[in-house]
Structure 1
């Protein structure tokens, strides 16, 4: 757990640097030993390690990084601000939430009580360069009524769209629980 927290801190520091005037290629956070931003096995996306990343993919990864940074600081209110007016949120086992107003009404968490973190593992820009998506791993950290830590985790996908004014907003956010470990899904029950 300490390694994850250290890595998340390093990633947040890298994202803070991303808002500087440095070239986009120098702004992308890198990960060590094939781990994503939350210490999960997966491809590490960085133009430094993968120079063939398109400018569209780099843009989407940068947007996702800024989104995550804003939510870490501002909680649910900051989360809702990133959505387009007609956005959709699809959460595991729950009905769709339609529209930024409804999303804001549900995103009421305080970052001091619940900390949502995530790291993109990949991105793809559409051919017209006005819509694309990112995907990765997320974690939610809180405490139960006894003060014990509670961690939820899973996978997410964010669909981004370019707005008429040139800004980018989240068109859809979808998440699901962490998949079962390979050994857990197919184990024969023991007597």
Structure 2
């Protein structure tokens, strides 16, 4: 009986690694992203992805597309009534009303784009999360470009009516030299 448990654990670990490997390279598969329609995600075209992961990635793509055209108003509409948003240098926004009060940008003035890079669905298929990279583009008062970028995580929750909403969104800006941490010294 012990050997069965060992084989089961080993197979579970192998499957987990395969799923994680499949999830880490999803940025090229994500629908939406920066206004570009990506390939359709389905178990037939991406057999290593579970239906739950595909659903979350598609939700994230629709969320990004809505915000690209609708700005902050569209952003806040995706949240549950009791959602939480955690952003750098700002107090937590608790509830959709507080989120809407912080998300007052127009898509013409501030372009927030993001690319999901992975997702995981919970075992009950009613909650999951996505994560990836985001960029924000705007101009300062002198008309000079201002760009920010960082990482995000979005927690999704299935509502009683079957729709999905964002329960939590958190982001962290990248430090100025984020890509240089592992660079080899130049000769």
Q: Normalising by the residue count of structure 1, what TM-score does the alignment of the two structures yield? A: 0.73
Alignment of 1:31-180 (within 5 A): 50-179=46-175, 180=177
User: Could you tell me how far 1:85 is from its partner in structure 2?
Assistant: 0.2
What residue in structure 1 maps to residue 4 of structure 2? none
Runs of 5+ consecutive residues of structure 1 not aligned to the other structure: 1-7, 16-25, 29-45, 186-191
Pairing 1:27–2:27 present: no
C-alpha contact 2:57 2:130 (8 A) present in aligned 1: yes
Structure label with greater radius of gyration:
2
User: Could you tell me how far 1:95 is from its partner in structure 2?
Assistant: 1.7
1:132 and 1:151 map into 2 onto residues whose CA distance is: 29
User: Could you tell me how far 1:93 is from its partner in structure 2?
Assistant: 2.7
Pairing 1:14–2:46 present: no
User: Could you tell me how far 1:96 is from its partner in structure 2?
Assistant: 1.0
May I ask how many residue pairs the two structures share in their alignment? 153
Compute the RMSD of aligned alpha carbons: 2.5
Runs of 5+ consecutive residues of structure 2 not aligned to the other structure: 1-30, 183-187
Residues 154 and 182 (structure 1 numbering): CA distance in 2 closer, same or farther, change over 3 Å? closer
